[in-house]
Amino acid sequence: MMVRMWHGRVPTAKAAAYREFTKWRAIPDYRSVPGNISVHILERAEGDITHFITLTFWESLDAIRGFAGEDVEKAKYYPEDADFLLECEPQVVHYEVVGRS
């Protein structure tokens, strides 16, 4: 099993709207891809900036390719992200899950 981890920053004033956006746009998109196991969105406010981390769990790196394309390290963005994000970080990070309970 693999984890794909993405990080984004939004102005705290837009955090609630971005959280809602992830519920109706991003999460359903991830879940529609064969091989996606789950999606977890983490949120942490830090003054005027709120950090979001998206952790998606996948059956394999090939399953991630079904979502991200051949360059699996490249972050995928939606057109609506421009309304929220302070910048578009170009890369994501992948981890192999080596233990769980």
- For residue 80, the 8-state DSSP code is G
Mean pLDDT of 27-32: 96
Q: Domain 2-96 is in which class?
A: alpha beta
Maximum Cα interatomic distance, the chain, rounded to a whole number of Å: 38
Rounded to an integer, what distance in angstroms lies between the CA atom of residue 77 and that of residue 54? 12
CB under 8 Å to 2, separation ≥6 — which residues? 57, 58, 59, 60, 61, 63, 64, 94, 95, 96, 97
pLDDT tens profile 46-83? 999 999 999 999 999 999 999 999 999 999 999 999 99
pLDDT on residue 3: 98
- Do residues 40 and 22 lie in contact, with contact meaning Cβ atoms separated by under 8 Å? no
* Extents of the domains making up the chain: 2-96
Single-letter amino acid code for the residue at 1: M
